[in-house]
């Protein structure tokens, strides 16, 4: 990277975990010149900072590119699949089964 790091940027270890979970280049992108890691860093910058897409710093990819990929990956379920895979990885890292064996349901009655 030829720019200063932001607190929202992915570490190398985080990138190694999520890179294989992203769709292959060409299948989900109109821009093959922008590194996908920088696209994810741009998405994280906007979401962690709570800023508007157009207010992204100029040293990150163009906001239109970042927004396009975030929107596409949201619509195609990439984020949901990534979250499910990361939950499994974390459960196994903690010595638990990848899939939970029980679920708890909770409800509360409210008088109207």
pLDDT confidence tier of residue 92, bands split at 50, 70 and 90: confident
- What burial letters (b/e) apply to 58-90, b meaning 16+ CB within 10 Å? eebbebebbbbbbeebeeeebeeebeeeeeeee
pLDDT of residue 109: 67
Reply yes or no on whether the pLDDT at 110 is more than 70. Answer: no
- Mean pLDDT (the chain, rounded): 88
pTM for the whole structure: 0.80
pLDDT digits (tens, 9 = 90+) for 8-39: 999 999 999 999 999 887 755 566 788 999 99
Reply yes or no on whether the pLDDT at 61 is more than 90. Answer: yes
Mean pLDDT, residues 52-57: 96
Residue 16 CA to residue 40 CA, distance in Å, equals 13
């Amino acid at each position: 990277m030829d720019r200063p790091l932001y607190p929202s940027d992915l570490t190398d270890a985080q990138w190694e975990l999520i890179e294989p979970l992203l769709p292959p280049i060409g299948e989900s992108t109109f821009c093959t010149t922008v590194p996908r890691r920088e696209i994810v860093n741009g998405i994280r910058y906007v979401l962690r900072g709570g800023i508007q897409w157009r207010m992204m710093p100029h040293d990150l990819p163009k906001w239109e590119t970042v927004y396009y990929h975030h929107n596409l990956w949201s619509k195609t379920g990439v984020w949901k699949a990534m979250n499910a895979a990361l939950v499994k990885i974390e459960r196994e890292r903690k010595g638990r089964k990848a899939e939970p064996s029980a679920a708890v349901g909770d409800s509360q009655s409210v008088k109207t």
